Amino acid sequence: MPGETVDILLVEDSHDDATFFRHALEVSGLRPSMKIARDGAEALAAVFGAAGQAEAVPILAPRMIVLDLKLPKISGLEVLHRLKANPHTRSIPVVVLSSSQEKRDLVESYSLGLNSFLVKPMDFDEYTALVNALGKYWLQLNQTPKP
C-alpha cells in the first residue's frame, strides 16, 4: 500500500522555476499539497525510498507528477521510465513541463507512457495560465485510480 499522499510532486532543478510554479498555483487559487524534488535521484527516492527497487511499493503517492526533463543525476526520461515500468506507480499521471522543444524528447516521453507534454512559456502570464489549467484539469477534473 502506498504511504504518504501529496497532490503534486514537482521534479524541478531550477529554484526559480519551482518558485514560479508554486506562485502560479497560488495566483490561480489552487492550494494543493506539494513536494519538490531537485533532481531525478531525489524524485525516485521520494517515491520509492532509498532502495528504489523496480517493483517497490511507493512510499509517496502523488496525485500528479510534474517532471522537468533536463535534470541532474538521473534524467527526467529515466525517472519517467522507472515510474511507468512499476505496476504500483504506472497509473500516476506524469506531466512533463520542460523548456525542451526537441521532437526526440516528445516522442520518447510518450513512448514511455507520459500523460502530457507541455513546453514552459517564457511569459509569466502565459505560464500562470498554463499552470492554472494543468492544476484544474489533473487535480479537479481528471479521475485516476489509486496507485
> What domain range includes position 119?
8-140
Domain presence at residue 2:
no
Dihedral class, residue 49 (left if φ above 0, else alpha if ψ from -120 to 50, else beta): left
Domain presence at residue 28:
yes
Q: Are 23 and 112 in contact (CB under 8 A)?
A: no
Write down the pLDDT at residue 18. 95
Q: Residues 66-96: pLDDT tens digits?
A: 999 999 999 999 999 999 999 999 999 999 9
Dihedral class, residue 73 (left if φ above 0, else alpha if ψ from -120 to 50, else beta): left
CB-based contacts of 105: which residues, under 8 Å, 6+ apart? 69, 77, 96, 98, 117
Q: Residues 28-57: pLDDT tens digits?
A: 888 889 999 999 999 999 999 877 666 778
Task: Output the CA torsion 12→37→20→123 (10° steps).
Answer: 10
Domain presence at residue 147:
no
Q: Residues 89-146: pLDDT tens digits?
A: 999 999 999 988 899 999 999 999 999 999 999 998 999 999 999 999 999 899 887 6
Write down the pLDDT at residue 96. 98
Three-class SS string for 57-83?
A: CCCECCCEEEECCCCCCCCHHHHHHHH
pLDDT band with cut points at 50, 70 and 90 for residue 1: very low
Query: What backbone torsions phi and psi does residue 94 show, to the nearest 5 degrees?
Result: -120, 125
pLDDT band with cut points at 50, 70 and 90 for residue 147: low
Domain count, the chain: 1
Domain presence at residue 145:
no
Domain presence at residue 1:
no
Write down the pLDDT at residue 52. 63
Supply the CATH number for residue 108's domain: 3.40.50.2300
Domain presence at residue 14:
yes
Domain presence at residue 46:
yes
What is the model's pTM? 0.91
Domain presence at residue 3:
no
The residue-averaged pLDDT of 12-17 equals 94
